Structure 1
């Protein structure tokens, strides 16, 4: 862990800036834009952070990535440094950890009627906290540190004499999360009062047979039904260890203000700051800038996944056809594709929009990952990507991303006995039976579409009668899936339905009446032990 050497100076100076009110971040942003009061000595907004969210680190049992943002006007004389105060007790910080890389920010061109004007993002801070204990709860705060105070940083623990100041600063920063205190207090296990400090629990050690539970959702957006889904998840978050969001995250249509609204939506919950959120890239996350032609700018700046190496993104030579996205896009590594182990499960997250053909960076990396999986340590193997290989709906059937995945990835999934492949893209829900090359086979992977997270749920069926390999499909209700890993051989799957379209929400594709009493829940047997 990277910690403050001259903590006395840091906490004393920072405490003078932390007399903040409960005014919203947005009000600070608007007011400061007018009065140009950007000097941290004259404004308290530099210690007001927002959009706290988590991602697992390289080893989820011992590391966590804490992400948050701060106001761009804090950058005097240079960008502020993100820091996380963390400890094992609700109101006691044992360490202060600095972000390992410079804070990120970006500009983007507003589309359409706003064309020519620039959006300026917050500063995004990604702090990797490592050296943690497996399966342990930690409490934390997110703050920014003026860059002029980081000269005396060293890798050492805090001195006992500094503990009083450390405790003082923890108390003073409590107002940062005051608006979330009631929610977090309500959902915190054991009913402890932690004054709004969020907490997270590290993963069990690899090979541990602990029971773990994952939420899988896709195509969330920031619409009426998005809020409905998020509220439902927040109310049923107990026992959830990680959330996988399989692409099409915010649906900004290049209006990056919507990204801020999307994170504001999560800020109103408790789960975003307490449960790691693992993302895959979707077509609506490409967000090609109308002037620079840059791609995946927000996706790479606002999030940090457990990366193989920094992103490689080439500048596009022309605009992308939004009706049929080019394949492949010049995007590798970074948040595009990565893997992590969570207790008895190995997760591999792929990019449908990066090259997945044999010989490509992603394909070569995937083969290596699959060959390294030890099913005696992680008996469960899951893959997440945006575009579905199996699709019982009329839309998105002939896109190159799906065809290349079917041709080149399905053989790998079959030969390595992948248990479940999760996807979104289609605004509907579907779960297949175990299937190998379009034939039902108990040893084959199961394919799940959860593209009904909130943006829409109205994809028409390809034909009235479902294919033989379809276990259940639905195009009327919103929701997400929950996978409960019980032991090495059995898991339990449940589709959580969170809402449906009202008659006035029909849209271009129409509206479908939900089927009363329909559900999809049941045990899943680990196909690895049934391999033929």
Structure 2
């Protein structure tokens, strides 16, 4: 590549960065000072065969199926062979292949194949492509009834902090990971999406990862690239059709026979009368709390936040004003958010006051991104805020039965998972005072 072309590309990157800063006004240009950042890790494709499957991850589709997604460098069949033992891949499924362009970048071939029906709480082995790849992967399906264990981590990115978080999550023996937005921190540099896919593959290829979008997934550049969420929607396809949603940015699913999980989009339409609002309203009405006692919601921008970071943003304040009543009336049990790079747990709350029939709000945007921690909190601490700490880490939610769950937060400042906060939760569906 000539020097002139290199300079042009460098100028383009600078322009893109400025566009991102303007697009996310308040995200980069915020009033608090972040600590020094750790460098972004770039994970190359390490297989001798450049067309071998990579960036493998799985997600739940319905209650007895899994979507397996992966990327190859050149066209190849979207086929999965699978079975209950490494040598007996008697079953097979085929799917779809797609790709996308982003400025000068052209993605590899993105394959999506749904396999099943599958037995619950069972290990399956699978191979990808046709002819199948030599590598044998394995996954474990979630249980069909409680108990179930979720790992929860937001704002992951791909730094040394991220590596620690992923190592700790891997040791937690979780059934499913929930991620409330900001995955790769690619910020328009598309090969960072590829790097991220390789970084998380060891975990994401074995357990379902259910994700929603954050501000770093928007990747819209005025005039130059007007579409939002191009890479996110292409690479991380979620089962939105299963929940009658018309967008990959918000959807819901049932798991373990007792948990209804709702993923909302902080960076798409959410006002009263919008598509997302109407979908959420209808989705909540369908939940039978006798059969599905737990309702969990994930968003990116937190509705409750006593950190100085990200105060006064419409994605938090306006979305809360539009949707908080819906969640309260439906007796949602807990709301997880990201965005703020710190941890905070609130009491049950509604309209800024403690309310025994409101959801517990937990901010867990501390997975390990390149921007560093949000270390400054508002003083004095609000009474509704029960625990807060600016450390990287992850959480686990052990749902033992139809009434009790244990929430635990583990910090990893010293690259060790240290239990720092925990709380027992009881579902609102078991609280007679909250019956409508």
* TM-score normalised over the length of structure 1: 0.69
Q: Say whether the 8 Å CA contact 2:54–2:70 is kept in structure 1.
A: yes
1:215 aligns with 2:151: yes
1:523 aligns with 2:424: yes
Structure 1 residue 200: Cα displacement: 2.2
Match of 1:198 in 2: 137
Match of 1:388 in 2: 302
Match of 1:256 in 2: 190
Distance 2:58 2:419 in 1: 33
Match of 2:67 in 1: 65
Q: Say whether the 8 Å CA contact 2:218–2:228 is kept in structure 1.
A: yes
Match of 1:230 in 2: 166
Match of 1:304 in 2: 237
1:274 is aligned, of 206, 225, 247, to: 206
Q: Secondary structure, in 3 states, of the residue corresponding to 1:417? A: coil
Matched residue pairs, number? 387
Q: Which stretches in structure 1 are left out of the alignment for 5+ residues?
A: 1-23, 29-43, 110-117, 146-168, 177-196, 312-331, 502-513
Distance 2:47 2:281 in 1: 49
Structure 1 residue 107: Cα displacement: 1.9
Structure 1 residue 310: Cα displacement: 12
Match of 1:106 in 2: 100
Distance 2:243 2:236 in 1: 12
Q: Say whether the 8 Å CA contact 2:158–2:184 is kept in structure 1.
A: yes
Q: Moved runs in structure 1, 4+ residues, more than 3 A?
A: 24-28
RMSD: 2.4
1:125 is aligned, of 111, 128, 142, to: 111
Structure 1 residue 136: Cα displacement: 2.7
Q: Say whether the 8 Å CA contact 2:269–2:275 is kept in structure 1.
A: yes
2:80 is aligned, of 74, 80, 84, to: 84
Q: Which stretches in structure 2 are left out of the alignment for 5+ residues?
A: 1-43
Distance 2:243 2:350 in 1: 35
Q: Secondary structure, in 3 states, of the residue corresponding to 1:414? A: helix
For 1:429-440, what aligned pairs fall within 5 Å after superposition? 429-440=343-354
Distance 1:244 1:203 in 2: 13
Distance 1:279 1:442 in 2: 28
Q: Secondary structure, in 3 states, of the residue corresponding to 2:281? A: helix
Deviation per CA, 1:139-188: give whole Å up to 9, x if none.
Answer: 1111246xxxxxxxxxxxxxxxxxxxxxxx6xxx43x3xxxxxxxxxxxx
- CA distance 1:448–1:310, change in 2 (3 Å): closer
Q: Say whether the 8 Å CA contact 2:154–2:364 is kept in structure 1.
A: yes
Distance 2:164 2:59 in 1: 23
Distance 2:139 2:366 in 1: 27
Q: Say whether the 8 Å CA contact 1:310–1:334 is kept in structure 2.
A: no
Distance 1:144 1:472 in 2: 51
Structure 1 residue 249: Cα displacement: 0.6
Q: Say whether the 8 Å CA contact 2:243–2:251 is kept in structure 1.
A: no
Distance 1:368 1:278 in 2: 21
Match of 1:474 in 2: 389
Q: Secondary structure, in 3 states, of the residue corresponding to 1:371? A: helix
Distance 2:420 2:410 in 1: 8
Distance 2:275 2:242 in 1: 12
Deviation per CA, 1:424-476: give whole Å up to 9, x if none.
Answer: 0011100111112111122210001001100155214442221110110111x
Q: Say whether the 8 Å CA contact 1:490–1:524 is kept in structure 2.
A: yes
Structure 1 residue 338: Cα displacement: 0.7
Match of 2:28 in 1: none
2:58 is aligned, of 34, 38, 54, to: 54
Deviation per CA, 1:60-84: give whole Å up to 9, x if none.
Answer: 2x1110111111xx23xxxx22111
For 1:332-411, what aligned pairs fall within 5 Å after superposition? 333-343=246-256, 344-411=258-325
Q: Say whether the 8 Å CA contact 1:139–1:198 is kept in structure 2.
A: yes
Match of 2:225 in 1: 292
Distance 1:421 1:250 in 2: 22
The structure, 1 or 2, with the larger RCO (C-alpha pairs under 8 Å, 6+ apart) is 2
